[in-house]
Structure 1
Amino acid sequence: MALKMAKGSLFAVLLRSNWWYSVLIGLFILLVSLALTDAKYVVLSITGSLPFLIIGAIAAYKQLQQPSQKRVLDVVQQAREMPAGVIAEKVAANYIKSGYESSVFKGNGADMVLTHGGRKLLLSSKRFKAANTGTEPLKLLVAAGKNTEATGFLYVTLGEVSDAAVKYAQEHSIELIQSDRLAVLFDGKAKIS
């Protein structure tokens, strides 16, 4: 049985927020409890603030692993000046480093095929400069995957993705690679499973 935190719980919200929110709440609880008890129950005061300090540390660690907003903007600017094939190669390089083999996709709907054991991913970056992404290019990618028995899909986009496209991507195992993820992939720091 895997434990999963509810999306709307206080700690889940704090994990998605800036790390210092949690630390401030933890310090506030610590100081108030020390003031109310005249510092007689230091261990109890520390225990009450500890969950917030731990969540703050976890959030800080996660946020330090992400690229800065300046780096994301730099990568987006660089990417807009590159052809789709170069973008596909840069993304694929991270997968190759993790043991995947790559080959050029022969057909429409994708650029590359990445294989590792029984896993086969189709990568599409053909329309990465499009301002808006709907479901049509994703459907084309999934259709190409049916012919090649793909188990997953990667779709690179720098524009806005419609709600319908996000829902379609979730239903069909499509990872949408947007600006933040693209920056991590450009830097070669992506965790590939």
Structure 2
Amino acid sequence: MASEQHYLRYLIELEAFSMLFRPRAKDTEFIQFQRSDYTPATALSVFENIKDLSLNNDSDGLKTAALVFIYLMKNDQLQLMHNPRENDHQWFVRNEVTSQTFDFSTNKSAMNDRSHLEAAQVAAEDGMASAPTQRCFDLLERVESSSRRYPVDERITLENCDSSDFIAQKRGIDYLYQQGVFGKFDKFNND
């Protein structure tokens, strides 16, 4: 994982699914979902789905859409970008290998040929602000209809997530599932 992808520290990858967590005052909220392997066709489909379901084109809405896109795609080459020269900071995603951009403000995915994107920078880490927001969870839940969202009575942060009882339990269940302890199940699509 690239060091610039600080926002992915809140993502927990298991064999059967992924979880994203966000610390709250006295507990932690989780959302459990499936990430997709990155292919150009899948990326475009996810991009269009997010565009259709995004509610706001303001700076926070664009940042939320870009982060949800990154959370849903299995690709360590995706970077959250922002252009501080644009009003209210423009946010988008760039594939650092192909230079393809996913700009949620324009309704299109394109090669990086737009002049205002040239001044863009990789989004810097900003501490607690790198934790997923409620708005991010809301959009992720709308985009990934099979996701499950739930609170946990344990306050989990980046500092204590490695010693979290809840996360250890989830990892253990995932391991047992992968070993066939609960039986063998075929994955299927609900398309």
Name the TM-score, length of structure 1 as normaliser: 0.21
Which structure has more strand as a fraction of its residues?
A: 2
Name the TM-score, length of structure 2 as normaliser: 0.21
Which structure has more helix as a fraction of its residues?
A: 1
Please say which structure displays the higher CA radius of gyration.
1
- Higher RCO by CA contacts (8 Å cutoff, separation 6 or greater): 2
